[in-house]
Structure 1
Amino acid sequence: MDLVLYRLFQTWQSLRTKPGLIFSVVVSMGLTLGALLAVSALAYVIFIKTLPFPDAERLYLVEHQLINEKQQIDGRAFTYPNLEYLYKQQQVFDKSASFYVDAGIIMSLPKRPMAEISYVTPEYFQLLNPAVALGRLISDNEGVDQYKPVAVISYRLWQQQYGGSEDVLSQSLNINDQSFQIIGVLAKLAPGLAIAGYNQQSDVYAPWDFNTVDARSRKRWGNDDGGLMMLGLLKTSITPEQANQQLTQLMNNNWQQQVSHIDFFKEWSVAAQLQPLKDYLLGDSQQAALLLFLGSIGLAIIALANLTNLLLSRTAERQHPLAISAALGASIKHIRTNVFTEIMLLMTMAMTVAQGVMLLLIALMQQYLTDYLPYLQQLHISGLSLLFSALLLVVISVVLTLICSRTIDYQALNNQLRGSGKGTGVAVKASTRHWLISSQIAIACLLLMSNSLLTTQSLNLLNQPLGYQTDNIKALVTSVPEGEGDLALLKQRLAQHPQVERLSQSMRPDIFPTLALSNQADNARFSVLAKPVDEAYFSLLEQPLLQGAMFTAQDNQQRNSVIVVNQAFADRIKTYGEVIGYTFDNGARIVGIVANTVIAGSTAQEPAFYYPAGPRRNMFLIKFHQGASLSQAAVQAIMTDVQPQLSVFSYQSLDYYNNQGWKTAMITAVSSVGISLLTALLTGVGIYGVLSYICRMRRTELGTRLAIGAKPLRLVQLMMATTRRDFLLGASCAVMALVILMWMFDGYQNIQLVSELLPIIALSLLFVGGLLVIAAYLPLRIWLKQPIAHLLKGE
């Protein structure tokens, strides 16, 4: 033990004379390994770790597919009667749960907060088995058709609205004029309850019987609703493929009988598609996590190449003390042990910094990426992560020791002191230098090109024109009042407010339900996006009218059967005749055509139509004068003055909602730019280190060339010539790897070869080439400042 401590002490004393080496290793490896550890922990949670539910690998969500006459999927959500039928008749699950995800205002609380609400059958909690902080969960006695008004609330709602009071179980809450007795509070870390999307954490869970689907929709076999879902525990004797077939046959046979009298659904069908719960919850985050993981590995490899060059140079510089050790009888094993001890000490310091970087990155991801990457709250430094860190530390230290040991010629060390040391210096092999440069160039080019492609796609989404303007506009949703007069008075009061420039009683522009239209005479059937709006909607959003006319106030008051279509829908109708005046079977007549719009985060211009909203629509778009606005409290005060029971359901700017849609693109763009900058920095430093070493080894030659009249530019060209082959090899490997990645990932398929891909490849290679030029010039600049005589003497 004393010998080990002594060796560590001696190694530290030797390293203390090289603060630059310590700083370079600790900072570069600490940052890159910290990033690798954080992303590896994320990858473990997403790709390897099972969900925190009983029999999680057997949990599946059922996707209900509505397939049109062209055998295309028209919708991916349940209709209410089909979900009820499947819940009662299915035979492929040991246990299944139906649930409906909605939102509402808790009227019984003083602040009337809006809350996400899930209406569930008892099996929902039996499948997920969440822990409770107080009380109990919904039981079988409170199942379907029992109509027992009880509720389970989240830990968050309990703390924020009830102050964590334990007498909460004696209280009730009122939602949609229905009072629910609180019977339980979920535990603080109850996992995985955001099944409707990892950004939708339900705060209230009530029995299925009280869901808010209206009586008419409960009988309609063709109206799907994205809030309706089904979760099941698949029987061990049935495969997912068999379950798909059995559920599809069960649903479709019954559905065909129910819609046989509806001409619109002629040749239509329904199908079931099981999706593993984990895949559903993770969604696109799996590809994002994979890209982050690959990017962090690339950065780590570049940093390791830099470290390899530093340590090889360090080994070359230590030839004299190593020769003394050999002369005093040290074996090659002892010399390698000394090298390993030094590398291990450096890597231990770097790994210590990496743990701090890992903690910081995990905290940042949990703060800003929770809506994008699920289960981030499960990330922390665990025993497994510490074991992985230790394993990484040992493996890197051993590999670097073996690489450095290969450059040590033990016999030459023994002879060095006898021959005064001249001409016997330890040098880094040329093949090793070429490998270091070409590998860094290959990885750097690949990372730069890949991240440039991701950035390009993200910027295309962010810069996609929406087709309407959002400046100074907020969307307000109110609770549903008992009479139309309340909304009419509220609309009048808001419109008369001095801060308000214009008002529309309409749904916000990024929400589009789907409705069906048909024309029996033309055999035309459409299932398209639809939105109820009033006469002020298009002018408020400045959505251009291309042909025909807008709605009038009378159309909205009388709910006239007129619609306005967008250009994409008009293009589909053209095949059946003149668009303006075209009338559907339900009497809806097209009176106008407006420009297309897109939803933030998408580039698709989907067919859509707009119809009169009517006076009972509890949604408003408020455009304020420049620099003016109203707080939510001020809006609530106006509503309370109109009707004390009215409350704000939601109140946000259109920019807020658009930013939610753009969040994925923004995070991808920022991450890609960050990785690119780190790649450029690490690559530049690494190549500079290799070329700086080459300059030191060739300083006598450089001095000779200067003495006979060579210009500095010629010396730069000479240094560049030594890396030309490495650049071409690395760049070629990077381009081939990029092609393979584009083939593997669907996300790259929209890249245009000539307009986007080739310029990105050219700019990336040009950028790396520029780094080579700078890295070749900077070490030469140091030697060029010295007298030629010093260079000739090798000083």
Structure 2
Amino acid sequence: MNYIMYLIKQAWQSLTKTPGFIVSVVTTMGFTLGALLCVLTLAYVMLMKPLPYPEQEKLYRVVQSQIMQNGQVDNNLFTYPGLIHFYKNQTHFSEAALIHYDDNILTSLPKQPSLKMGYVTPKWFSLLDIPMARGRQFEQTEQLDSHNPVAVISFDTWQNEFNGDEDILSQKIAFSGVSFSIVGVISDTFIEPEIEQRGLKTQVWLPWDYNLDTSAKESWGNIIPLAAFVGKLNSQQSIKQIEQEITPAENQIWRDNVGGVTFLNDWTLQMKLHSFNSLVLGGSHQVIYFLLAGVFGLVIIASANIANLFISRIAQQQHSLAIRAAMGANSKQLFNALLVESGILMLLSICIALVIAVCGFYILQHYLSDVLPRVAELRLNRFSFLSAIIIVMSLAYFFAKVSAKTIKYKTLNLTLQSSGKGNSAQVPKKTRQVLVITQVAIAATLIFVNANLFKHALDSLNEDAGFETHNLSYLNLVYSGMNWPEYDAFSPIMTDIKAQIISRPEVEMISHSSSPLSRFWQWPINDLVRKERYTIFIKSIADDYFELLGQPLIDGENFSTADIKDGNNVWIINEALANHLSPNASAVGINVNPGNDQVYSIKGVVKNIKQPNQIDQPFRVYGPSDLSQRSLLIKFKSNQALSREQLVEVIQQSHKSMVIEKYESLSQTQDAGLFTQKATAITTAVLASLTFLLASLGLYGVMSYSTQIRRFEIGTRLAIGAKRKTLILMIIKDNSQSVLIGLVFSILIMLGLVISFNNQLERYVNWQLLPTVILTFSLIVLITLIACYLPLRNLINRSVIHALRAGH
């Protein structure tokens, strides 16, 4: 123990004499290892850590798919009666629950906030072992068809909407005209399973019975979005056997109930079981693999740079090492001293790394929760600390070993006798070449990949959406009463609300239309005129919609007042559908029979629009809206707006039963939709810059060292008349082979990535990559030229005697 303490004390005293060395190593490795620990912990949580639910390996979601005649999947959603039938008749799950996600308006609070809802049956709570902060979970009294109006709220809802009121269990909340007694508050430790949407945090849970109106519950032909069957599997059969058993039964009951729907002739159902783990992870394992590859690349570059610093330090310590050897220290003891030094530096680095990792967790949780799964579970854990220990031990040993390799123990005596002149340790040329090749190969690959991802993200951000969003907001209203009036009854209500809003001085224009960023309703149609089937995406709009958005009409004409008033069967379609229906002529005037006994005439063609994250251009159709539609587009005057509270007041003056379901700025909605691209652009730009910086430092260090050990040779050449240009070309030529080999390796790595991940990278691989390749290689060549020239500059720009003395 005393010997170890002695080594630590000696190592620290030695290190404190070179504070610049300490700062360089600790800073570089601290930030690099922080990124590594953050990504490793993320990989552990995503790929290895069990879900935080009892018997999580038995938890499954059953998905029902509707298969069209051509064998393609039309959707992966249950019909409402089909879901209830399966729930009541299944035999393979010991416990089962229904969950339906939706939004609803909390009308019992003055602000009338829109909350994320979960309509569930009681077993949802026991399946997930949901902890409670107050009160109870749902019980048998809230079972299917019990209609018991109670509610369980999340911890955040309790704090944010009710200010943490200790008397919360005596309060009631109102949704859609129904008053619910709060019976429980879920603990803030509960982590909700992301089986439907990443980052979704349900704010209120209500009994299943309150999720849909009666008419929708009877339809076997309509699907119900955001509804799911989940359960704990209790069967000795394989998943495939269960699917083969339940599919025919469910398909038959569905066919018996939709036999009269011509459109669904020859359609079939298919039942699939998906584990919770597969649903939560989705395709994110590919993202984590790329992150791991990127951060390991940075670690390798940083380690090469630090190894070079250790080697340089050993060259400077030859005299002190010789003294130790003369006093009896053998090679093992010298190695132990170096190991303690590197160990101290790595311990300091890992302390910084842990702080950086925690900061990384915060960024991921606050900005990427809707992109990456399970980020809410990120925190320093046993895996993090075990990884930190392994990293510290491995890197400390690696740097000590690299340093020890440069020590020629048998020549240390000569070093002492000659006072250290001319006998400094030298790194073998082969080692220097390997360092250069490794840094160039990894740096070129990382710069290329990140530059390419950055370019694609930037292209998406800068791509013209085809419509304006500035000063525009979308408002959607719902009826808060229990029994909805007939649809036509909304016409005078909406007309009055529209008049009240347009009378506000902040408002410039208003359109009875929905947002271009909101959902277009999917409509699979059977075009009887062209004898083909395809899917269109339809939206109802007013005649001032295109003017408000600045979306140009490129053929035909807009809806007339009569079209809006009478609800005429006319469509305005986008370019994509127009080119499909009539590739060589105008599509205006074409009549389309979608298979519902009605004919629609195409009146105009508008420019395509692009919604955030849209890859392909769908067939979009615009039909005339009616005055009963509850969606409005509001254009405000410059630097003007209305808050949600102000709008609530305006609407309440007109009709107290109408409440705001959604009120959002189009610009903010579009920015939120492009968040992934923004995050990608920022992340890749930072990684590319960091890679470039580390590679520059590393190459400069290796090439500077190579130049320094050739000082005498360079001085001699200068003395006999060698020109500066000749010497520069000589140094460049000596290093160019290693750089060229590194570039070749980087090309092989990139080809390997393309071959291994062809499906995922298909949309990135094209001739447009050539400028990125040229840019990447140009950056590497630039780094090399600078790294070759700068160390040489100090020798060739000074007197010859300086180089001869320094090199002797």
Using the size of structure 2 for normalisation, the TM-score is 0.94
Show the counterpart of 1:205: 205
Show the counterpart of 2:550: 542
Q: How many residues align?
A: 793
**1:587 correspondence with 2:598:** yes
After TM superposition, the structure 1 = structure 2 runs for residues 489-568 of structure 1, keeping only pairs within 5 Å, are 489-510=496-517, 511-520=519-528, 523-568=531-576
**1:276 correspondence with 2:259:** no
Show the counterpart of 1:37: 37
Show the counterpart of 1:228: 227
SS state of the match for residue 179, structure 2? strand
Alpha-carbon distance in 1 for matches of 2:443, 2:559: 57
After TM superposition, the structure 1 = structure 2 runs for residues 66-105 of structure 1, keeping only pairs within 5 Å, are 66-105=66-105
Alpha-carbon distance in 2 for matches of 1:576, 1:22: 71
After TM superposition, the structure 1 = structure 2 runs for residues 379-778 of structure 1, keeping only pairs within 5 Å, are 379-418=378-417, 423-480=422-479, 483-484=489-490, 485-510=492-517, 511-520=519-528, 523-574=531-582, 580-584=589-593, 585-592=596-603, 593-745=605-757, 746-754=759-767, 756-778=768-790
Alpha-carbon distance in 1 for matches of 2:366, 2:580: 45
Q: CA deviation at 1:413?
A: 1.9
Seq. identity, %: 33
Q: CA distance change for structure 1 residues 414 and 243 in 2, over 3 Å: closer, same or farther?
A: farther
Matched-pair contact (CA < 8 Å) for 2:558–2:572: yes
Alpha-carbon distance in 2 for matches of 1:105, 1:129: 28
Q: CA deviation at 1:514?
A: 1.4
Matched-pair contact (CA < 8 Å) for 2:556–2:588: no
SS state of the match for residue 786, structure 2? helix
Q: CA deviation at 1:714?
A: 2.8
Q: CA deviation at 1:111?
A: 2.2
Amino acid at match of 1:590: S
Show the counterpart of 1:310: 309
Q: CA distance change for structure 1 residues 83 and 177 in 2, over 3 Å: closer, same or farther?
A: same
Matched-pair contact (CA < 8 Å) for 1:534–1:553: no
Q: CA distance change for structure 1 residues 92 and 717 in 2, over 3 Å: closer, same or farther?
A: farther
Alpha-carbon distance in 2 for matches of 1:126, 1:421: 75
Amino acid at match of 1:462: L
Matched-pair contact (CA < 8 Å) for 1:550–1:591: no
Matched-pair contact (CA < 8 Å) for 2:193–2:280: no
Alpha-carbon distance in 2 for matches of 1:296, 1:352: 18
Q: CA deviation at 1:223?
A: 2.4
SS state of the match for residue 794, structure 1? helix
Q: CA deviation at 1:440?
A: 0.6
Q: Deviation string for 1:25-78 (max 9, x for gaps)?
A: 011111101111111111111111111111212222233322222211222222
Amino acid at match of 1:107: T
Q: CA deviation at 1:118?
A: 1.1
SS state of the match for residue 393, structure 2? helix
Once the two structures are overlaid, the 10-residue window that deviates more, 437-446 or 238-247, is 238-247
**1:250 correspondence with 2:249:** yes
Q: CA distance change for structure 1 residues 327 and 603 in 2, over 3 Å: closer, same or farther?
A: same
Matched-pair contact (CA < 8 Å) for 1:308–1:400: yes
Alpha-carbon distance in 1 for matches of 2:394, 2:35: 18
Q: Deviation string for 1:442-500 (max 9, x for gaps)?
A: 11011011112222222232233222221211111223266522211111122233332
Q: CA distance change for structure 1 residues 535 and 427 in 2, over 3 Å: closer, same or farther?
A: same
Alpha-carbon distance in 1 for matches of 2:660, 2:52: 36
Alpha-carbon distance in 2 for matches of 1:631, 1:207: 32
Q: CA deviation at 1:384?
A: 3.1
Amino acid at match of 1:710: A
Amino acid at match of 1:434: Q
Q: Deviation string for 1:672-714 (max 9, x for gaps)?
A: 1110000000000011111111121111111122223333333
Q: CA deviation at 1:421?
A: 5.1
Q: Deviation string for 1:754-785 (max 9, x for gaps)?
A: 2x222222211111111111111222223334
Q: CA distance change for structure 1 residues 138 and 744 in 2, over 3 Å: closer, same or farther?
A: farther
Unaligned 5+ runs, structure 1: none
**1:290 correspondence with 2:289:** yes
Q: CA distance change for structure 1 residues 441 and 385 in 2, over 3 Å: closer, same or farther?
A: same
Once the two structures are overlaid, the 10-residue window that deviates more, 578-587 or 611-620, is 578-587
Alpha-carbon distance in 2 for matches of 1:611, 1:643: 27
Alpha-carbon distance in 2 for matches of 1:108, 1:83: 31
Once the two structures are overlaid, the 10-residue window that deviates more, 129-138 or 473-482, is 473-482
Q: CA distance change for structure 1 residues 777 and 550 in 2, over 3 Å: closer, same or farther?
A: same
Q: CA deviation at 1:186?
A: 0.4
Q: CA distance change for structure 1 residues 516 and 338 in 2, over 3 Å: closer, same or farther?
A: closer
**1:113 correspondence with 2:113:** yes
Q: RMSD value over aligned CA atoms?
A: 2.2
Using the size of structure 1 for normalisation, the TM-score is 0.95
Amino acid at match of 1:749: E
SS state of the match for residue 417, structure 1? helix
Alpha-carbon distance in 1 for matches of 2:139, 2:24: 61
Alpha-carbon distance in 2 for matches of 1:417, 1:426: 13
**1:260 correspondence with 2:259:** yes
Alpha-carbon distance in 1 for matches of 2:527, 2:353: 66
Alpha-carbon distance in 2 for matches of 1:268, 1:570: 28
Amino acid at match of 1:376: V
Alpha-carbon distance in 1 for matches of 2:276, 2:97: 13
SS state of the match for residue 229, structure 2? strand
Once the two structures are overlaid, the 10-residue window that deviates more, 761-770 or 186-195, is 186-195
Q: CA deviation at 1:509?
A: 1.0
SS state of the match for residue 271, structure 1? strand
Unaligned 5+ runs, structure 2: none
Q: Deviation string for 1:501-549 (max 9, x for gaps)?
A: 2211222112112124335565444432121222222221122223333
Show the counterpart of 1:147: 147
Q: CA distance change for structure 1 residues 632 and 165 in 2, over 3 Å: closer, same or farther?
A: closer
Q: CA deviation at 1:614?
A: 1.9
Q: Deviation string for 1:178-235 (max 9, x for gaps)?
A: 12121111001211245431232111111111112x3333333332232222223233
Alpha-carbon distance in 2 for matches of 1:79, 1:463: 40
Show the counterpart of 1:180: 180
SS state of the match for residue 786, structure 1? coil
Q: Deviation string for 1:341-391 (max 9, x for gaps)?
A: 211122222222212222222222223222222322322223332222122
Q: CA distance change for structure 1 residues 716 and 76 in 2, over 3 Å: closer, same or farther?
A: farther
